[in-house]
Amino acid sequence: LSRRCFIFSWVEILDAKTKDKLCFLDKVRHHSSFFTHFLKKICFLFVSDPQWYPARQSIRLDPKGKSLKDEDVLQHLPVGTTATFYFRDLGAQISWVTVFLTEYTGPLVIYLLFYFRVPFIYPPKYDFTTSKHWVVHLACMCHSFHYVKRLLETLFVHRFSHGTMPLRNIFKNCTYYWGFAAWMAYYINHPLYTPPIYGEQQIRIALIIFLFCQIGNFSIHIALRNLRPPGSKTRKIPYPTKNPFTWIFLLVSCPNYTYELGSWLGFTLMTQCLPVAFFTLVGFIQMTVWAKGKHRSYLKEFRDYPPLRSPILPFIL
């Protein structure tokens, strides 16, 4: 063993907001590979409120800095023989799986309520009637397919780098997804709805775009899943595979968002409905923010990251 393994640290843990001392640790080994887990456990023991379970704890080097990762090692952190860490309560947490299942189940059920025209949505004479336009039924199938796909991917495909997220986010996310689903479904399934101006040709082109992008989105999710072994938080550069739908990785960092955008553009063209177009626009703005953040993260983490890639749209954005 090197001499460095025998160095000990004095470690104090302060509250990030009040700067009150929560605990003081003596003789912490620098080479402890489980340091962050250990720190959280010690901090948990010193915090009197039992609701501060480990998932809602954040340990930081700076009160306003980023949380330390579970795999961080003390000897690799920019601290001396005496180190000060800051504890922050992240608030009540909920698992990503629960959030996704909740926010995706809502639109699926809500849309079907409008599609079947249950009472109290449209005038009573339209209760449980069906539309005479086949595009309305096609739109219902596409919308349902999209969210069933998302639910199945949540259960069997996605591997999350973070196990939980703040509980408050589920209300924001559900308001977004459920609200837009109701707004879109109301107009698409309305008894006075009129089909797209260019008729069957427009609908067929839109359907091809939608299905193509749905397959592409699923292909990207599978490719990203295969990059991360079960239970691992390892990050790798995603590259195209033998699947042609993944070749877009040559030009884009987040093609899952690119295909998602394409799916909703197809759905907008299919329904020719203003609320759908607005949902697509809002989604594009949000996905662009996420894609830019992930693109910057790739560039920062990997020196050999492909320089031709754009965040979400090839050569544009």
Number of Cβ within 10 Å of residue 115's Cβ equals 20
Fold of 9-91: Ubiquitin-like (UB roll) (3.10.20)
CA distance 229 to 238: 14
Q: Average of pLDDT values for 250-262?
A: 96
Query: What pTM value is reported for the model?
Result: 0.81
pLDDT in tens, 88-112: 767 678 888 899 999 999 999 999 9
pLDDT at 84: 73
Bridge-based pairing of strands 164-166 and 93-95 is antiparallel
Domain boundaries, the chain: 9-91, 94-293
pLDDT at 94: 84
pLDDT in tens, 54-84: 666 667 766 666 766 655 555 556 665 667 7
Structure-model confidence comparison of residues 5 and 76, the more confident one? 76
pLDDT at 74: 57
CA distance 153 to 217: 11
CA distance 166 to 158: 19
**By C-alpha distance, which of 70, 51, 50, 45 is closest to 59?**
70
CA distance 269 to 272: 5
